[in-house]
Structure 1
């Protein structure tokens, strides 16, 4: 067996546990990698209005961070599929404020990007140093 190969099923299981817990929250009654059990990014974002996520509280807004996270998720799949083009990270910070319609669209887009990442990870048959 090639020492550079990673056991696919073990790796995939571990990655998916962390991804699901990060975005969807930890399963009821189970331990958590995070301090606050059961709370994931999606549940946290659902509680916030467009007005709240458009307020500046430091360097940037929650809306901007949400777009940045979505942008990052999209790039993960591109990189895993062999796209080696340079990433323009400035594009990930273009959204700063949103109205309710835009906020709903951004949350839906982030969920789709997350689901796409799950599919990308599940679709890799051999994990090695290339991916």
Structure 2
């Protein structure tokens, strides 16, 4: 990949989801496990189902997965049929469903990285899409980390 903007997008997405590399960070905590996947792997289905301010970590996780799914459609220049409210209805997950949510989040993230690798340049729509994914995912990472503080009191 020879496009500095695409490389930056990939770097920031990886930091958001996988965590920072080598204790260096652009905006997350500069320690292992501080990305979304490291944060979620420490939680049980019971933890993910505890309501905090009207939502659950399970809903935040599925909503983030859903946003990646929508972004993957946009990068294909397709318009998906969206139902933003569906992910917010999640209140309770069992161990199997919680594992499924995390696996599906990983799958959509991996799919997005592969699509980024195939891009040579960015037009305005793709730029907005990818920058939106970074901002949106980082926002939900922060929300989840704050919710963890509330449930682990």
Equivalent of 2:51, from 30, 33, 56? Answer: 56
The alpha carbon displacement at 1:36 in A equals: 4.7
TM-score (normalised: structure 2): 0.74
Q: Give the Cα–Cα distance (whole angstroms) in 1 for the partners of residues 70 and 28 of structure 2.
A: 25
Instruction: Say whether residues 1:15 and 2:9 are aligned partners.
Output: yes
Measured against aligned partners, the alpha-carbon deviations of 1:15-62 in whole angstroms (never above 9, x if no partner) come to 011000000110123233224533110011000000010010111000
After superposition, what is the alpha-carbon deviation per residue over 1:101-131, rounded to whole angstroms, capped at 9, x for unaligned?
1111111111111111111111223311242
Pick the structure with greater CA Rg.
1
Q: Deviations over 1:68-97 (max 9, x none)?
A: 000000100101111134522112324321
List alignment gaps of at least 5 residues for structure 1: 1-7
Structure 1 segments of 4 or more deviating over 4 A? Answer: none
Query: What is the number of equivalent residue pairs in this alignment?
Result: 125
Distance 1:106 1:85, change over 3 A: closer
CA–CA distance in structure 2, aligned partners of residues 85 and 101 of structure 1: 27
* TM-score of the superposed pair, with normalisation by structure 1: 0.86
